[in-house]
Amino acid sequence: MEIFWFIIIAIVLAMFFILDGYDFGAGIIHLFFAKKEEDKELITKSAGLFWDSNEVWLVAAGGMLFMAFPKFYASVFSGFYLPLIIVLWLIVFRAIGLEFRSQFNFQMWKDIWDVSFGFSSLLLALFFGIALGNIVRGVNLGGVENGVSTHEGHYFFLPLWDSSFSPLSATPGIIDWFTIIIGLISVVTLAMHGANWIILKTNSTINNKLKNVIFKLNIVLAILTFISLSVWQIVKSNSLDNFFHKPYLLVFPIIYFTGLIGLFYIKKLKKDLYGFVFSTLIILGGITSSLASLFPVILPSTNKVNENLTIYNTAAEKYGLSVALIWGIIGIALIIIYFIVQKRLMGGKIDNMDYGKH
């Protein structure tokens, strides 16, 4: 049952980063590349029409974590309190940037909310990548100092950064040079994903330019990928052991590199959908590869005093998992129905759809 819930939650999280990821990416593209008002409106619309349904997946993932792995939920929501509050405010400013932009036809008003939408999207992409970096790096579970836990072994609290700014510190912070690399990978990946979404859903005048942007960003992503794999061995020398011991897990890195290689042909792709599929594969492969490298661990301990948090020592009791299964099926069914209806109503190009004129 623990493995089942681990897989379901991984799927729901992947859906969030694939779907809301293109919203983040659209905001990044809007911030740096949209110059004409018509392009700004189209890009805003490409995110604004979908963001509320996409974020349902994040809420669902949080609820499932609470039901299936309550100890892990309690641990990360207290330990990552500072970045979670930052993420919450970024989500708020991103949303009101989308919703407020067209309320008044004054350029200064539009510029303020354009910046809110763009910078919030950029920082959200960065912080979600940093969060993944913290998960794969591990945290100081139990707050061990001088070989002694200062609190219970499954609790921790991290400052935003440690004075050493190093992932090898005994008390690492949320932001260090390793997590920044993972954060940059997230920003680049979601920017490409957002660009592919804009190309797929709009007739923006910058669509051809965005294909060149995607190609260049893909080169950056390839470089960052190999840098991250190298430094990951420094931070955690056994990080790739799962792939050697369980070769079938290599399917996840293959998914990632299929997407990465595919986007090098972005200028030659005949259908706009193909580019979006390739960037989706990068996100899907990146998340699943990270989780597969840790399995069954879901939060490593950087000290030897307290054990890692796994799907087994953080799971609810069997009865709780069985009850959660019933409500989980109902919840996922409702989300899928909502998702299908919304996507069908807004299929094709969205140029002529109305948004923000209320």
pLDDT higher than 60, residue 239 = yes
| Confidence (pLDDT) at 123 | 94
* 356 — pLDDT class (breaks 50, 70, 90): low
Largest CA distance in the chain: 63
Query: Does a structural domain hold residue 125?
Result: yes
123: its two tokens: 């920082």
Evaluate whether residue 350 is within a structural domain.
Answer: no
- Report pLDDT digits (tens) over 252-275: 999 999 999 999 999 888 888 999
**Inside any domain, residue 352:** no
Opening angle at CA 20, ends 249 and 22, nearest 5: 90
Residue 358 lies in a domain: no
- Whether 122 has a pLDDT exceeding 90, the answer reads yes
Distance CA 143, CA 150 (A): 5
Q: Quote the CA–CA distance of 251 and 5 in Å, as a whole number.
A: 20
Can you give the pLDDT at residue 188?
96
pTM for the full model? 0.90
For residue 182, the tally of other CB atoms under 10 A from its CB is: 25
Instruction: For residue 219, tell me if it sits in a domain.
Output: yes
Give the chain's domain count.
1
**pLDDT the model gives residue 251:** 94
As given in the structure block, the two tokens for residue 272 are 């706009």
Mean pLDDT within 156-184: 88
In this structure, what token pair is assigned to residue 180? 């920044």
Alpha carbon distance 65, 87 (integer Å): 18
Q: Within a domain: residue 8? A: yes
From CA 274, how far away is CA 285, in angstroms rounded?
Answer: 16
Query: Has residue 353 been placed in a domain?
Result: no
Q: pLDDT by residue (tens digit) across 291-334? A: 999 889 888 888 888 888 998 988 888 888 888 788 878 878 88
- Which range of residues forms the domain containing residue 215? 2-345
pLDDT band at 151 (very low <50, low <70, confident <90, very high): confident
pLDDT tens per residue, range 69-96: 989 988 888 888 888 899 999 988 888 8
Burial 3-14 (b: 16+ CB within 10 A, else e): eebbebbbbbbb
Mean pLDDT for the chain overall:
87
CA distance 331 to 104: 38
What's the confidence (pLDDT) of residue 198? Answer: 92
Note the pLDDT of residue 355.
63
Q: What is the 3-state secondary structure (H, E, C) of the chain?
A: CHHHHHHHHHHHHHHHHHHHHHHHHHHHHHHHHCCCHHHHHHHHHHHHCCHHHHCHHHHHHHHHHHHHCHHHHHHHHHHCHHHHHHHHHHHHHHHHHHHHCCCCCCHHHHHHHHHHHHHHHHHHHHHHHHHHHHHHHCECCCCEECCEECCCCCCCCCCCCCCCCCCCCCCCCCCCHHHHHHHHHHHHHHHHHHHHHHHHHCCCCCHHHHHHHHHHHHHHHHHHHHHHHHHHHHHCCCCCHHHHHCHHHHHHHHHHHHHHHHHHHCCCCCCHHHHHHHHHHHHHHHHHHHHHHHCCEEECECCCCCCCEECCCCCCCHHHHHHHHHHHHHHHHHHHHHHHHHHHHCCCCCCCCCCCCC
Quick one: pLDDT band at residue 358, thresholds 50, 70, 90?
Answer: very low
In a domain, residue 357? The reply is no
